[in-house]
Amino acid sequence: MVRIRFFRALQDEAFACVEAMPGTLLLDVARSHDLPLHWRCGQGTCGTCRILLEHTQQPALFTPCARERNVLKRFGFAASTEPVWPDRPDTWRLACHVSVGSEDMDIRLPEA
């Protein structure tokens, strides 16, 4: 099991800490624990479920799928048009596209 802490924007204390199996979508983790991660489509089209995430393997690079990349670009949360993005704590992701990895994670929700 992997430990996942959830933070609200601009707050230093986690409001929730849960455990999840690697491979589980972060959106499903939030939903199963009734956490206030806003979402609408669940399919990577609305951009509502955007999050920032931090883990011990950062900084690194990753290749977002075309849908995640296009949605984040369309809503102004990604500046890069490159296929490979930096995996950093300030890189927006979609919780319906990110799975729990093998390392503990910190998830930061956007400002309401």
The binding site for ligand FES (CB under 6 A) comprises 39-42, 44-49, 71, 94, 96
Helix H or strand E segment including 63:
none
**What is the nearest approach in angstroms of ligand FES to the Cβ of residue 86?**
20
The answer to whether 96 and 63 have CB atoms below 8 angstroms apart is no
What's the half-sphere exposure (Cβ side, CA atoms, 13 Å) at 109? Answer: 22
Compute the least distance from the CB of residue 45 to ligand FES, in Å.
6
Which of residues 42 and 110 has its CB atom nearest to ligand FES in the complex?
A: 42
Closer residue to ligand FES (CB): 59 or 76: 76
The smaller minimum CB distance to ligand FES, of residues 4 and 49, is found at 49
Q: What phi and psi, each to the nearest 5 degrees, are found at residue 43?
A: -130, 5
Q: Rounded to whole angstroms, how far apart are CA atoms 101 and 55? A: 9
Q: Provide the H-helix boundaries in the chain.
A: 26-32, 66-74
Cβ of residue 10: shortest distance to ligand FES, in angstroms? Answer: 22
Minimum CB–partner distance for residue 19 and ligand FES (Å)? 22
1 vs 32, which CB is nearer to ligand FES?
Answer: 32
